Amino acid sequence: MVGLKLKGLKKSYGSVEVIHGVDLEIEQGEFIVFVGPSGCGKSTLLRMIAGLESISGGTLEIGDMVVNDVPPSKRGIAMVFQSYALYPHMTVYDNMAFGMRIAKESSEDIDRRVRSAADILQLGPYLDRLPKALSGGQRQRVAIGRAICRDPKVFLFDEPLSNLDAALRVATRIEISKLNETMPDTTMIYVTHDQVEAMTLADRIVVLSGGYIEQVGAPMELYLKPENLFVAQFIGSPAMNIIPATIEEAGASARITLSGGKSVDTGISVPGSENGKKASFGVRPEDLTISKGEDFLFEGTVSLVEHLGEVTLVYVEGLTEGEPIIAKLTGHQTVDRGDKVRFEAEKEKLHLFDGNGKTYRR
């Protein structure tokens, strides 16, 4: 079984610690995605696994071996970069075969593995072409094919689709998903800032912030049950609406008062000791619907409407200072700037966070 174990993993540059004792276990064959804002440490952590960054503290195990001081070439890892890193003077075939030739493998093995990888990635017709004759998506597939040919224990992807346009990103993401299905025993770790990539590719997502892990879980687990305010706002687009609130009546179904003065029965359990304390109320834009009656969450004035075809984004002022509340409605609904609107949501879709940003569990 070739998985990975990160135990108290740390990285420092001089006196500045950027990765703070990360603990994570990855099973063989898992597709793990690291996400987080710029500077959160996701690429640094990936490069530490690859051996491209030294480890300042803790241990990294691949399989049953501690590899802290093992050189990158001996770790059984193949890495795919966002820049492709292809040799421009070599054909697709030669680019894919290069690592095996350096390792002095037989011509028969090289040819078999290159053509097998080309079949998986639909690169067969392009083996005699130079990289300049390929599209961006095809070049990235060549880079992935080169990694496949090395027959690695672990694949590492460092934002491999960020240089592609929207259509090519979708197509190449589908190719990576298919690759994962054809190599079920190979562990894959993928860094991205794109939530669609994370939600569609991952078995589990690791959310990072400031060099710490905020939460690890399946995509829908993070979406439906964020453990804290950071994860709640990071996962989902547009981000979860957050409204300042006060615990009015704690209990099995706590009642809160929103910053605009509206009293709301949340259906969320809050300990009695929290009475009168400040909290943050959350609801996702896609969980809001227009209310026609008196039973509503909040009301406000529409400041902006964005028609995106299948959905319409409605920005509402009047509840919080600074950021407006956003509702994500079906595209056929008609709402105009300046309208007074009321919104409602099912209790099961509401979220509540304490003063430290931790989630109150139902």
Among 30-34, 54-58, 159-163, the range scoring the smallest mean pLDDT is: 159-163
Shared-domain flag, residues 249 and 162: no
pLDDT, tens only, 239-254: 999 999 999 999 999 9
> Does one domain contain both 245 and 228?
no
Tell me what pLDDT residue 301 has: 93
Please list, in sequence order, all residues whose beta carbon lies within 8 angstroms of the beta carbon of residue 137, skipping any fewer than 6 positions away: 164, 168, 171, 172
Q: Are residues 243 and 196 in the same domain?
A: no
The share of the chain scoring above pLDDT 90, in percent, equals 68
Q: Which amino acid, 314?
A: V
Are 176 and 64 contained in the same domain? yes
54-78 mean pLDDT: 93
Same domain, 71 and 37: yes
Summarised one tens digit per residue, pLDDT across range 255-285 is 999 987 889 999 999 998 999 999 999 999 9
Q: What are phi and psi of 321, to 5 degrees?
A: -80, 135
Residue 4: per-residue pLDDT: 95
Return all residues near 55 (Cβ < 8 A) that are at least 6 apart: 9, 10, 11, 48, 68
CATH number of the domain encompassing residue 69: 3.40.50.300
What is the maximal distance between C-alpha atoms in the chain?
77
> In the predicted model, is pLDDT for residue 362 greater than 80?
no
73-98 burial, b for 16+ CB within 10 Å, e for fewer? eebbbbbbebebebeeeebbbbbbbb
198 and 279, same domain (yes or no): no
| Structural contact between residues 118 and 96, judged by C-beta atoms closer than 8 angstroms | yes
Residues in the chain: 362
d(CA 321, CA 357): 19
At 131, is the secondary structure helix, strand, or coil?
Answer: helix
Task: Write down the mean pLDDT value for the chain.
Answer: 92
pLDDT-derived band at 1 (thresholds 50, 70, 90) equals: low
User: Which candidate, 311, 308, 310, 305, places its Cα nearest to that of 335?
Assistant: 305
DSSP state of 218: -
Given a contact cutoff of 8 angstroms between Cβ atoms, the answer to whether 341 and 362 are in contact is no
In a domain, 361, yes or no: no
Q: Are residues 179 and 245 in the same domain?
A: no
What confidence score (pLDDT) does residue 253 get? 92
Residue 318 has pLDDT above 80, yes or no: no
Nearest to 152 by CA among 111, 115, 185: 185
Q: What is the CATH number of the domain that holds 297?
A: 2.40.50.140
- Of 140, 182, 186, nearest to 160 by C-alpha is 140
Residue 169 inside a domain? The answer is yes
Who contacts 355 (Cβ-Cβ below 8 Å, separation ≥6)? 277, 278, 279
pLDDT of 95: 94
Last residue of a domain, one of 177, 209, 233: 233
**Residue environment code for 166-196, b if the CB has 16+ CB neighbours within 10 A, otherwise e:** eebbeebbebbeebbeebeebbbbbbbbbbe
Number of domains in the chain: 2
Estimate the share of the chain in helix, then strand, then coil, as percent rounded to the nearest 5. Answer: 30, 35, 40
Q: 330: which residues sit within 8 A by CB, 6+ positions away?
A: 310, 311, 312
Q: Are residues 196 and 154 in the same domain?
A: yes
Would you state the pLDDT for residue 48?
Answer: 96
With 0-12 / 13-18 / 19 or more C-beta atoms within 10 angstroms meaning exposed / middle / buried, residue 56 is middle
Give per-residue pLDDT as tens, 205-236.
999 999 999 999 999 999 999 999 999 999 99
**pLDDT of 2 higher than 70:** no
Query: pTM for this structure?
Result: 0.91
Give pLDDT, residue 232: 96
At residue 208, the pLDDT reads: 97
Mean pLDDT over 70-83 rounds to 89
Separation between Cα atoms, residue 68 and residue 58, nearest integer Å: 9
Model confidence pLDDT, tens digit, residues 104-140: 899 999 999 999 889 888 899 999 999 999 988 889 8
10 Å CB burial of residue 331 (0-12, 13-18, 19+) is exposed
* Euclidean distance between CA atoms 255 and 246, whole angstroms: 9
Domain that holds residue 253: 238-353
Query: Mean pLDDT across the stretch 340-359?
Result: 95
Would you tell me how many other CB atoms lie within 10 Å of the CB of residue 337? Answer: 11
